[in-house]
Amino acid sequence: MKYFLSAVMAAGWFCLAIAAFAQSTNTPQATPSPAPAATPAPASSPSAGGKRAECLASVQGKKGQERQDQLRICLAQGRVDCLKQAIDQKVVGSQRKDFIKSCMREQ
Domains of the chain, by residue range, sit at: 1-30, 32-105
- First-to-final CA distance of the chain: 70
Phi, psi of 44 (to 5 degrees): -75, -10
Alpha helices in the chain (DSSP H): 2-30, 34-38, 40-43, 50-58, 64-88, 94-105
Between residues 98 and 10, which one has the greater pLDDT? 98
The model's pTM: 0.51
pLDDT of residue 44: 39
CA distance 59 to 68: 8
pLDDT of residue 73: 92
Predicted confidence (pLDDT) at residue 99 exceeds the cutoff of 80: yes
Between residues 24 and 38, which one has the greater pLDDT? 24
Between residues 61 and 19, which one has the greater pLDDT? 61
pLDDT in tens, 25-81: 544 444 444 444 333 344 434 445 678 888 888 888 888 899 899 999 999 998 999
